Amino acid sequence: MARLATLVTATTLAIGVAVLFSTGLGEAVDANIVDATSFRCITSMTPVRQFYVDNLRGDLAATVAAANSPTGAVYPPGSVIQLMPGEAMVKRDKGFNAATHDWEFFELDVSKDGTQIRKRGFADVVNRFGGNCFACHIAARPQWDLVCESDHGCAPIPVTRAMIGALQRTDPRCNNPPPSHEDVEALRQLQELLKPRE
Ligand code: HEC
């Protein structure tokens, strides 16, 4: 029973956190190509270091090669990158949006019933902390194609690897075992971090 309560708490936390990373209104784009079915359980995607990748065009090898290039590379169209279950970057066709280097930014609502797109757009997507996805990600040095990681030139975010790992392992779309004590603790600390300041 106590274990179930822990699980429920952790799941609620994970959903709460996903909702917390919300964005402003995005531009309308061709929803026929990239829609809610383009996204799935984050840990069933392909892991690269601390994040996960997919390719909606079936060219996963090209996406993984770009992610693993020691000198950086332009990600191929169809690439999906996620660090948190509730946020994604999708590479659209060349010329789709010159300003964002053809990346579309997504805010996702994830639950055990699946994925819903909460917000999508280009240079204008702002999360509820006033953080503009593009404004942070454009700070990556040019060869990294707007992918920040920890050492590509973006300002760091105060979310630890432990918190990120815990969010990934408690994605409610996945068939996960109950979270470890460490993950429950990391999620608690993340929630603390995200509490609105007075
Ligand atoms: C305050 C700046 C900031 C904002 C706002 C922000 N990000 Fe990031 N994002 C980062 C940093 C820094 C990392 C790298 C974190 C790490 O690996 O330690 C990152 C990582 C990512 C990654 C994994 C690939 C990478 O770049 O390392 C994705 C995907 C991502 N963010 C998408 C988004 C989306 C979508 C939004 C808007 C809804 C967003 N981010 C808003 C700074 C930001």
| 21-72 pLDDT per residue, tens | 444 444 444 444 799 999 999 999 999 999 999 999 999 999 999 999 999 9
The residue type at 161: R
Which atom of ligand 1 approaches the CA of 89 most closely?
29
Q: What is the mean predicted confidence (pLDDT) over 118-130?
A: 87
Which residue in this structure is represented by tokens 């693993």? Answer: 68
Q: What angle do CA 71, 163, 42 make, to 5 degrees?
A: 65
Query: In 10 A of CB 84, how many CB atoms?
Result: 21
Nearest CA owner, ligand 1 atom 18? 150
pLDDT on residue 17: 47
Structure tokens, 86:
């509730």
Structure tokens, 176:
């996960």
Identify which has the larger pLDDT, 5 or 46.
46
**Are 107 and 132 a contacting pair, CB within 8 Å?**
no
CA 133 / ligand 1 centre spacing (Å): 7
Query: In 10 A of CB 138, how many CB atoms?
Result: 18
Q: Provide CB contacts within 8 A for 107, sequence distance 6+.
A: 21, 22, 23, 86, 87, 117, 118, 119, 120, 125, 127
Q: What angle do CA 7, 158, 77 make, to 5 degrees?
A: 85
What distances in angstroms separate CA 35 from CA 91, 118, 179, one per listed residue?
13, 11, 29
Q: Which residue ranges have their beta carbon within 6 Å of ligand 1? A: 23, 50-51, 81-83, 87-89, 105-107, 125, 127, 131-133, 136-137, 147-150, 154, 156-157
Q: Can you tell me the distance from the alpha carbon of 64 to that of 150, in angstroms, rounded to the nearest whole number?
A: 18
CA 73 / ligand 1 centre spacing (Å): 18
Q: What is the mean predicted confidence (pLDDT) over 104-115?
A: 96
Which atom of ligand 1 approaches the CA of 81 most closely?
29
CA 5 / ligand 1 centre spacing (Å): 31
Counting ligand 1 atoms within 8 A of each CB, the residue from 120, 122, 148 with the most, and so the one to mutate, is: 148
Nearest CA owner, ligand 1 atom 22? 83
Q: Can you tell me the distance from the alpha carbon of 194 to that of 17, in angstroms, rounded to the nearest whole number?
A: 8
Query: In 10 A of CB 38, how many CB atoms?
Result: 17
Which atom of ligand 1 approaches the CA of 22 most closely?
38
Q: Can you tell me the distance from the alpha carbon of 112 to that of 8, in angstroms, rounded to the nearest whole number?
A: 12
**Percent of the chain residues topping a pLDDT of 90:** 78
